[in-house]
Amino acid sequence: MKPSSFSTALGIALLVAPALVTAAEPPNPKIDQSGFVALVQETATIRQESRVSEERFLAMAAEPGTIILDARSKDKYENIHIKGAVHLAFTDFTEEALAKVIPAKTTRILIYCNNNFVGEQANFPSKMVKVALNSQTFVNLHAYGYTNVFELGPLLNIRTTKIPFEGKSVNK
DSSP 80: -
Give the side-chain half-sphere CA count within 13 A for 126: 9
- Tens-place pLDDT, residues 41-75: 999 999 999 999 999 999 999 999 999 999 999 99
Neighbouring residues of 171: CB distance < 8 A, sequence distance ≥ 6? none
Q: Which residue has the higher pLDDT, 150 or 18?
A: 150
Rounded to an integer, what distance in angstroms lies between the CA atom of residue 99 and that of residue 32? 23
Name the strand (E) or helix (H) holding 112.
strand 109-112
Q: Are strands 149-152 and 51-52 parallel, antiparallel or unpaired?
A: parallel
pLDDT digits (tens, 9 = 90+) for 72-105: 999 999 999 999 999 999 999 999 999 999 999 9
Name 60's bridge partners: none
pTM: 0.81
